[in-house]
Amino acid sequence: MPKVGMPPLRRKALINAAISAIGDRGSLDVTMTEIANRAGVSSALAHHYFGAKDDLIQATMRHLLTDLGRDAVGALNAAETPRDRVTAIIRVNFAVGQFRPEVVHAWLAFYVEAQKSAPLRRLLRVYSRRLYSNLMSGLIDLVPRPEAERMAEAIAAMIDGLYIRRALRDGLPRPLTAAALVEDYVETKLRMLAAS
């Protein structure tokens, strides 16, 4: 007889194992057996919970998006000013839990795989829209809408670029350093707009 409450724990263990395996490999070229072994369960049980590997990969990406979304909502709720809202979103994206090497590698692998996987592409669109919307929630009260839109796109591109640099181990930006680079851009842009 199965233990009560085990399915959610096993699902979570498999998702964490998938993040770890993808992070170590640097790609989605991992097997269900490898993931199951890392989670301490049989391959058959992994297939029971998720079906095919693609289903587990999609669940893993949804999990990362859910974690990021939860952290963003908490940070936005704590923000007192529009400028604080922008800072909150930048910091959330570079929080220690989000900017761990294995998570960064998983995101990079998802970006690559999304070029040929419609479900992953849809999930990445959700992420992009949410990031843009969260940034706009602060920027729209700081600068005219066209500038806010440009700044939101630039901030999002900087965040993605710093994730790529982290994944490639090029300079290994630390979370605080990465957030500071993006904040420098925001402050410089706001000063330029205020002076014009």
SS (H, E, C) 60-75: HHHHHHHHHHHHHHHH
* Average of per-residue pLDDT values in the chain: 90
Q: Is residue 1 part of a domain?
A: no
Q: How far is the C-alpha of 185 from the C-alpha of 170, rounded, in Å?
A: 20
Query: Is pLDDT above 60 for 123?
Result: yes
Q: What is the mean pLDDT of residues 7-33?
A: 89
Q: Is residue 149 part of a domain?
A: yes
Q: Is residue 46 part of a domain?
A: no
| Residue 95 vs residues 12, 77, 87, 100, 196: alpha-carbon distances, Å | 21, 16, 12, 9, 34
Q: Is residue 76 part of a domain?
A: yes
Q: What is the band of 104 on the pLDDT scale with cuts at 50, 70, 90?
A: confident
Max mean pLDDT range (19-28, 97-106, 139-148, 168-177): 139-148
For 101, phi and psi rounded to 5 degrees? -50, -45
pTM over cut 0.75:
yes
% of the chain with per-residue pLDDT over 90: 64
Q: Is residue 39 part of a domain?
A: no
Query: Is pLDDT above 50 for 133?
Result: yes
Number of domains in the chain: 1
Q: Is residue 138 part of a domain?
A: yes
Domain extent for 159: 56-195
Tokens at residue 68, please? 């990021």
Q: What is the mean pLDDT of residues 3-31?
A: 83
The CATH code of the domain that includes 167 is 1.10.357.10
Which contacts (CB < 8 Å, 24+ apart) does range 17-22 have? Answer: 18/56, 18/57, 18/60, 18/106, 19/60, 19/64, 19/102, 19/103, 19/106, 20/102, 22/60, 22/102, 22/105, 22/106, 22/109
Q: Is residue 70 part of a domain?
A: yes
Nearest to 61 by CA among 31, 101, 7, 105: 105
Q: Is residue 14 part of a domain?
A: no
Q: How far is the C-alpha of 111 from the C-alpha of 107, rounded, in Å?
A: 6
Q: What is the band of 1 on the pLDDT scale with cuts at 50, 70, 90?
A: very low
CB contact at 8 A, 189 and 151: yes
